[in-house]
């Protein structure tokens, strides 16, 4: 599950382990035309070469191992809804990219 909570994206530990193993940071990009955030591991040089990315810490949220990424600035800059909610997403295990529809 992926959700928005207190202006942070919370990513379930199962997704993190499959897409971002051993990553302390992630690269991400927001495409306003699609209202989509694409997230890849800090180690994905190909992703970084294709997109103008930002880097964020992938912080531990709880003892289970769920992780969080702060997106407060993104929400403010793009005037996006910051109400806590479950977010639609696709997790592509082949290319190790998480697409979140915000």
Q: What is the pLDDT of residue 84?
A: 97
pTM equals: 0.93
Query: What backbone phi and psi angles, to 5 degrees, belong to 81?
Result: -65, 125
Residue 30 CA to residue 37 CA, distance in Å, equals 4
User: pLDDT tens digits for 4-60?
Assistant: 999 999 999 999 999 999 999 999 999 999 999 999 999 999 999 999 999 999 999
Domain boundaries, the chain: 2-101
Q: What is the pLDDT of residue 50?
A: 94
DSSP 76-92: HHTT-----EE-EEEEE
Q: How sure is the predictor about 87, in pLDDT bands with cuts at 50, 70 and 90?
A: very high
Rounded average pLDDT over 71-85: 95
Rounded average pLDDT over 79-85: 96
């Amino acid at each position: 599950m992926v959700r928005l909570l207190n202006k942070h994206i919370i990513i379930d530990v199962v997704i993190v382990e499959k897409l971002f193993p051993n990553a302390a940071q992630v690269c991400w990009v927001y495409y306003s035309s699609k209202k989509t955030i694409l997230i890849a591991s800090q180690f994905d040089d190909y992703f970084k070469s294709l997109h103008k990315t930002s880097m964020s810490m992938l912080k531990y949220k709880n003892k289970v191992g769920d992780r969080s990424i702060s997106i407060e600035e993104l929400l403010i800059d793009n005037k996006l809804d910051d109400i806590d909610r479950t977010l639609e997403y696709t997790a592509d295990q082949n290319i190790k990219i998480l697409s979140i529809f915000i």
